[in-house]
Structures are given as structure tokens and as C-alpha cells.
Structure 1
Amino acid sequence: MNLAFLLPAGLAALAAVLLPLLIHLARRSEQRPTVFAALQWLRQKPKPRHRIRFDEWPLLLVRVLLVALVGVLLAKPVLFGAASHAPYVAVAPGVDAATAKRVDVPKEARWHWLKETDGPFTSVLRELDATLPPDVALTVIVPTQLDGVDAQIPKLTRKVDWRVVGSPSPSANRVVEKARQPTPLTIRFDPTHERAVRYLRAAAIAWNAKPDIAPATQRFDSRSRNVAWLATGAVPADLLEWTRTGGTLLLDSQATIADMPTLVPLWRDANGTVLIESAAFGRGRVLRFTKPLVPAQMPALLDGDFPKQLRAAIAPASTTPARVAAADHAPTTGATAYPPSARDIAQWLVLLIVLVFALERWMATARRSGVSP
């Protein structure tokens, strides 16, 4: 276990430990000699040599310690190697306690029960690998099927003791994919963009979704999730308010918003030309075509993958976790090791400073009241 300082320059404050010493020396001047008449005729003896002498050593030491602790606190101390090196057992969601306890693990092992609310299982496993010291043995107990995994087998910095418990089901040896739901699309247009509607209509039909198409003067259903606004000029206020509450708004290149956020490229064609830009807008999103919807200026309208690319921009693929057979998803090794994490001890140091300060106040008060501390 090693002590380090994130701000070594703060140790310069340790020079302040001289203050209690100077204060104690200055307090000696409070003693004043009193002339006594019967002694003034005695022969005067040579004065003793002046020596530096500190009174009340316990109180002085407490005050020096208090100032030193404050100086160390300013240097932001941390501890490396303070984490426990006992074996670690992580239990994935879906494994009951009785089954997990029957797994043979070291008696001194620490148990941690993962929850579905912690996030995707693969991400939690990588985070756990990053936070544990490199020499800690990690055992992971998983059910026969895992949810929340990535497309790739996780690569960790250490070898994991992968324990699969339970009986595999008939579907345990294949990845179960969830069918993607149709993406609904509401289209509103003005007379100048009537010809552009055909491209969005064809894309929506390719998604197996029947689009809601009407002139811009007709109100749209507030329950819509995706609205394409093909009109020139300012976007209506009610449409903007709908977007702020969580909707996805796809704008024509000639549509304008007074408080338009900074847009970033979302979809580029094969030549690298940006076709759609996007930005967050409240709890929703704003997307905008960078070119008019005519093949002469946007050749991608005639490409066979236009519906697929447009759908990916409007409704990104669902992050529904995949389900795989746990036996086929055991982590591999070879990932880059993470630097050891440091433990911040500032809160404990502050507590110690408060206790020392309370001790100093008690000793100083007892001295003034004439009670020996």
C-alpha cells in the first residue's frame, strides 16, 4: 500500500507548522517580573543564558499535528494498493442464491450479486475487470442463457473462472434475435414539396409501415413518433413543442428553426457528402436533409439502400440485449491492463482533522480554566 499525492505542491503548506511554535514562544512574554522590596538589596547574580523553551508540550504537539494534517489534505492524498486482494465471485442475474452457493469457490472469496438494473451484462463484466486489482482471481457464475451481451465475446485483462449453472434449454445454443418493429412515419408537406413526398412514401412502405401523408395545413397526431416536415420556412410552434417532449422531427433542407441547435453529420453517402444532420432537441431529436429531395441534387434517393439508411437515421436499431448460450460466451484474455485505481482518503483525513481540532480546543479550554488536561 503506497501513499501518493495528486497535488504535491500542496505540501508547501506544511511550512505553516511554524505558526504554533511562534505562538507558543510569543506567549512567554505574558510573564512579567514583579519587583519585591526586600530583595532589591541582595547581590545581583549573573543572568542565566537565554534558552528557547516551549511550555505546554502536549498542546503544542496537537496544534502542530493539526496544521500538518491540513497541509497534507491540500496535497490531495490517495492510496494505491489499498483494495482487497481476496478472490472475487460475481453472480449474473438469473442465478438463484442456492444454486450459486453450491459452486466450489475459495472460502475467503467476496460475493457480488449483479442486477439487471446495473446495465448490460458484458459492460458490467468489463467494468468489474477494470476496477479489480490485476492479481485478484475472478469467478463469474452465469445461467445457461445470457442476456445483455455484445456481438463479440468479451476480452478481459485476466483469466476468468467461468461457471455455467443450470440445465441448457433447446434454444440455448443459438442467438435469439428480436424482430424489429415497423417504423411509423408521419409526412406533412407544402405544395412546393409534393414531388419529394414520393421518396419518403416509398421508404416507409419498404419498412412495412403505412405512412400518414397529408398537407402541412392538416394537424398531425400527437402520438406520432416520427414526423417528416417537407415545407419551406419556419417550423410551426406546436411541432417544435412535440419534438421537445421526445419526438423525432425530420426537416427539409429549406425548413428553419429560430433556436436551431448545432447540427452534426448523421448520414454520409459513399462519397462522404453529408445527407442528414442531427441534434438533440429537448428530449427529442431534430434531423435535417442537407439537400433538396430531388435526384439531381441527392442521387442517394435512387439507391436501393435509401430506405435502410433513412430508417437507421430516424429510428436507430434497438439496443435490446441479445441472448446467447453462456457456455459459448466465456471471456477471453488479452485486453490491455488498466492502471491501478487509487483510493481517495480525503474524507478520512477530514474526519481526523475534526477530531484533532476538537482535542486541541478541549486542551486549550482546560488550560485557561486552570484544569490540567
Structure 2
Amino acid sequence: MSLSFALPGLLWALAAIALPVLLHLVRRERQHKTVFAALEWLDPRQRPRRRLRLRDWLLLALRVALLVALALLLAGLQRDEAPGPARVVLVHPALPAPAGLAAEGERWQWLAAGFPDTVAAAPSTTDAMASLLRDFDATLPASTTLQVRLPATLDGLDAAPLQLSRPVDWQVEDVSPGSDAPPPRAPLALAVRGAADAPSRRWLRALHAAWQAGADAPIEFDADGEALPPATVVMAWTDANPPDEGTLDWAAQGGTLLLDATTPWPLERTPVALDGEGWLQGAGHGAGRVLQWRQPLSPEALPAMLEPTFPGRLRAALQPSPLPARADARAVEPGVGAAAPRPPPQPLDAPLAWLVLALFALERLLSLWPSRRVPA
């Protein structure tokens, strides 16, 4: 644990501790002149030497401590690392809860949203397991060790390698949650906007019917272009004019916009070829993307349309296969390479405020104590 300051510039307030020291040095006691005869025979040039003396050491120490505490409070003294458990055990919800009680300094939690304690019932699902592990690692103090208990097959993975900031005791048990079959690909719906007389519309209808193979994913035609579809629907723009701002905003929010070959490119970024087929070009736009046919959509300009595999290959370009989210737990054991966690600092304002009040009360009590000869 280390200490730091939120506003270190205010530590200049520590210079105020010189004030009570100076006040104690220059303070004079009340003197009463008493005349008696023996003084008449003293040489007036001989005077006793005066020395600076500090009096009331306890009162001075209280006043200095009060000013120091005030300066630390103003500078925002804070603790950089909150105390944490010595060891944390994360248990996958597919496993039974650990038997017995956690050892002293140890904590058992479910590997699920919110990381509940294992004394609670196991959550039903674990979504985005890799993200949960990264988030939990980032909140732990650097001195805490981590053990993760998992089934043999993991769900909720992503494309990024699993790297944490600390070595992990990776315990894999021979339990597999659910089936190993990959999830089915969702049907791909298509919405067509733009000019109603565009020749590419009938080819889009034919391609959509071919790749659907009876799946319930409609194709919607709307020449007005006012109603925007959900972001999961591919929008085909069949107009010689560029799409309006509303349509581009829809794509930026996660949609896929497919432009006709005759449509002017609407983005500042230069489009690039997206596949080895030479059919499409495009660029990312916000959370979505804008694609464009490189040739007009017709058999004369694009002979590949006559191939029986063309609809499936086009669908794969418009709707890429989902990244694998399931893997052998032993094959994805995390490495060490993530940035060291920096938990948010813990402000010490409350204890410092109580210390200031206590020191002030003691200083006033001692300063006004009836037995003191001279009030300070």
C-alpha cells in the first residue's frame, strides 16, 4: 500500500506550521515592575541576556499537528491500493460450489456477472467469460493471487488472446457444459432502399431467395427510405444518389449498408477491397460498415452471378461466420502480459476530518484550561 495526493500543489499549506512556532517565540508574559533598594547599586549597563525560549510544548505540538492534518486534508491524501484478500478462487457456474469454508484471507466467488459469493446459488449462464476474467483481474490488488476452476469446455470466449496481469492457477475439471455443436447461423434479412426502378432490385430478390433456402428472413422494399431497419438487417442502397445522413447514421450504429455500383462513395475514407472475389469494396463506419459493389449487379458485368455457389459466397461476405466462442479450457490458459491493475485510490478524507476535529478540540481545551496562568 502507498499514499499519494489528489491535489499535491496544496501541500504548500504545510508552511503554515511556522505560525504557531513564531507565536510561541514572540509571546510575552505579563511582567509587573517591582522596585526595591538593591537594584539601585547595580550597574545600569549590565543587563541579563535574553534567550528565545519555547513554552507550552504540548500546546505547540497540538497546533502544529492540527495544521499538518488540515494541509493533508486539503491536498487530498489517498491510499493507492485498497486492502484485498490474499487469494481469490473463481468458480465456473457449471461446477458445483466448493465444499467447506474458505480459509482465512481467501474468497470464493462465481465466475459470472457481479461475481457473487459461492454461498449463493450458482448463476444459470456465463456470458462473455473472457471479458469477465479480464475485468475481474483489473479490479484485484496486485498482491492477490488468483485461482480459476473451470469445466473442460468453455463458452463465452472471444478472438483476443486471454492475457491477465498475474499468473493464474488454472484448474480444469472434466465437466463439459452443454453440446459441442456450433450455434446455427441466424437468417439474413435484407432491406432495399433507394430508386424503385433500379435494375439491381430484381437480382437482389433472386439472390436473397437463393441464400435463404426456406429460412424465415424477409426481404423488404421501401422506395421512400424513411423507415430504417434493425442493425441486424443488411440494407441495400439502389440509388444513383448518395445515401442521406440518416442512413449513414444507421450504419454508424452497427448496421451494414450495401451501395450500388453507380452510387457515389459517401465517406471520406477510401474504400478497399474486402475479399478475394473482387465483388465488394468498403470501409468501416463507426460501429458498422459501408460496402459497395465494384461492378453493376448483372450477369453481364458480374459473370460470377451465374455460378451456383455465388449466393452462398455473397452471404458469407455480408454475414461473416461468428467467431468461435467455445474451446478446450486447457488450450486457452491465460498468459501474463496485461497491464498491472490500478485500482481506484481510496480517499482518506473522513478519517482526516475526524482527526482535525479531535486535534482542534484538544487544542481549545488545553488553551482554555483554568489552571493556566497565561491564556494562549
Which TM bucket (shorter chain)?
0.5 to 0.7
Q: 1:147-202 CA deviation, whole Å, 9 max, x = no partner?
A: 32357995776363524276x68x76xx221111210102234267x233355345
Deviation of 1:91 after TM superposition, in Å, equals: 1.1
Q: Contact 2:152/2:173 (CA < 8 Å) preserved in 1?
A: yes
Structure 1 residues 310 and 370: alpha-carbon distance in aligned structure 2, compared to 1, 3 A threshold: farther
Q: Contact 1:187/1:214 (CA < 8 Å) preserved in 2?
A: yes
1:20-99 pair list within 5 angstroms? 20-26=17-23, 31=28, 33=30, 36=33, 46-53=47-54, 55=56, 56-66=59-69, 69-70=72-73, 73=76, 78-79=80-81, 83-86=84-87, 88-97=88-97
1:132-171 pair list within 5 angstroms? 138-143=146-151, 146-150=154-158, 158=167, 160-164=169-173
Answer yes or no: is 1:184 the counterpart of 2:185. Answer: no
Q: 1:291-316 CA deviation, whole Å, 9 max, x = no partner?
A: 563689x9797697875675466545
Structure 2: 5+ residue runs without aligned partners?
116-126
User: What is the alpha-carbon distance in structure 1 between the residues aligned to residue 233 and residue 13 of structure 2?
Assistant: 64
Q: Secondary structure of the equivalent of 2:68?
A: helix
Answer yes or no: is 1:212 the counterpart of 2:219. Answer: yes
Structure 1 residues 182 and 343: alpha-carbon distance in aligned structure 2, compared to 1, 3 A threshold: closer
Q: Specify the alignment match of 2:133 in structure 1.
A: 125
Deviation of 1:111 after TM superposition, in Å, equals: 0.4
Structure 1: 5+ residue runs without aligned partners?
none
Answer yes or no: is 1:17 the counterpart of 2:14. Answer: yes
Deviation of 1:317 after TM superposition, in Å, equals: 4.4
Structure 1 residues 366 and 234: alpha-carbon distance in aligned structure 2, compared to 1, 3 A threshold: farther
User: What is the alpha-carbon distance in structure 2 between the residues aligned to residue 242 and residue 159 of structure 1?
Assistant: 42
The one-letter code sitting in structure 2 at the alignment partner of 1:212 is I
Q: Contact 2:85/2:107 (CA < 8 Å) preserved in 1?
A: no
Q: Secondary structure of the equivalent of 2:330?
A: coil
Q: Secondary structure of the equivalent of 1:111?
A: strand
Candidates 224, 230, 240, aligned match of 1:232: 240
Q: Contact 2:25/2:52 (CA < 8 Å) preserved in 1?
A: no
Q: 1:102-140 CA deviation, whole Å, 9 max, x = no partner?
A: 7x9867642011225774123333555566678866443
User: What is the alpha-carbon distance in structure 1 between the residues aligned to residue 189 and residue 315 of structure 2?
Assistant: 10
User: What is the alpha-carbon distance in structure 2 between the residues aligned to residue 126 and residue 241 of structure 1?
Assistant: 32
Q: 1:317-365 CA deviation, whole Å, 9 max, x = no partner?
A: 457944x6xxx42256672344543555441x32332222222432454
The TM-score normalised by the length of structure 2 is 0.64
Deviation of 1:233 after TM superposition, in Å, equals: 3.1
Q: Contact 1:199/1:301 (CA < 8 Å) preserved in 2?
A: no
User: What is the alpha-carbon distance in structure 1 between the residues aligned to residue 148 and residue 209 of structure 2?
Assistant: 46
User: What is the alpha-carbon distance in structure 2 between the residues aligned to residue 346 and residue 203 of structure 1?
Assistant: 60
Structure 1 residues 151 and 244: alpha-carbon distance in aligned structure 2, compared to 1, 3 A threshold: closer
Q: 1:221-258 CA deviation, whole Å, 9 max, x = no partner?
A: 8679333221133646886797799865444466689x
Candidates 107, 110, 129, aligned match of 1:110: 107
Q: 1:63-122 CA deviation, whole Å, 9 max, x = no partner?
A: 243156358747x76359x54433x3211123343xx327x9867642011225774123
Q: Secondary structure of the equivalent of 1:101?
A: coil
Q: Specify the alignment match of 1:277 in structure 2.
A: 283
- Aligned Cα RMSD in Å? 5.3
Identical aligned residues as a percent: 21
Deviation of 1:367 after TM superposition, in Å, equals: 5.5
User: What is the alpha-carbon distance in structure 2 between the residues aligned to residue 107 and residue 366 of structure 1?
Assistant: 44
Structure 1 residues 346 and 211: alpha-carbon distance in aligned structure 2, compared to 1, 3 A threshold: closer
Deviation of 1:276 after TM superposition, in Å, equals: 1.7
Q: Contact 1:267/1:313 (CA < 8 Å) preserved in 2?
A: no
Q: Specify the alignment match of 2:200 in structure 1.
A: 196
1:271-310 pair list within 5 angstroms? 275-280=281-286, 285=288, 287-289=290-292, 293=296
User: What is the alpha-carbon distance in structure 1 between the residues aligned to residue 270 and residue 316 of structure 2?
Assistant: 16
Q: Contact 1:91/1:114 (CA < 8 Å) preserved in 2?
A: yes
Q: Contact 2:163/2:337 (CA < 8 Å) preserved in 1?
A: no
Aligned pairs, number: 348
Q: 1:25-82 CA deviation, whole Å, 9 max, x = no partner?
A: 14665657566575899567734423152642232232243156358747x76359x5
Q: Contact 2:10/2:74 (CA < 8 Å) preserved in 1?
A: yes
Q: 202-211 vs 183-192, which deviates more?
A: 202-211
The TM-score normalised by the length of structure 1 is 0.65
The one-letter code sitting in structure 2 at the alignment partner of 1:182 is P
Q: 1:262-317 CA deviation, whole Å, 9 max, x = no partner?
A: 76868624499981234248xxx563528563689x97976978756754665454
Q: Contact 2:191/2:235 (CA < 8 Å) preserved in 1?
A: yes
Structure 1 residues 237 and 337: alpha-carbon distance in aligned structure 2, compared to 1, 3 A threshold: closer
Q: Secondary structure of the equivalent of 2:184?
A: coil
Q: Contact 1:62/1:356 (CA < 8 Å) preserved in 2?
A: no
The one-letter code sitting in structure 2 at the alignment partner of 1:115 is A
User: What is the alpha-carbon distance in structure 2 between the residues aligned to residue 161 and residue 269 of structure 1?
Assistant: 39
Q: Contact 1:155/1:332 (CA < 8 Å) preserved in 2?
A: no
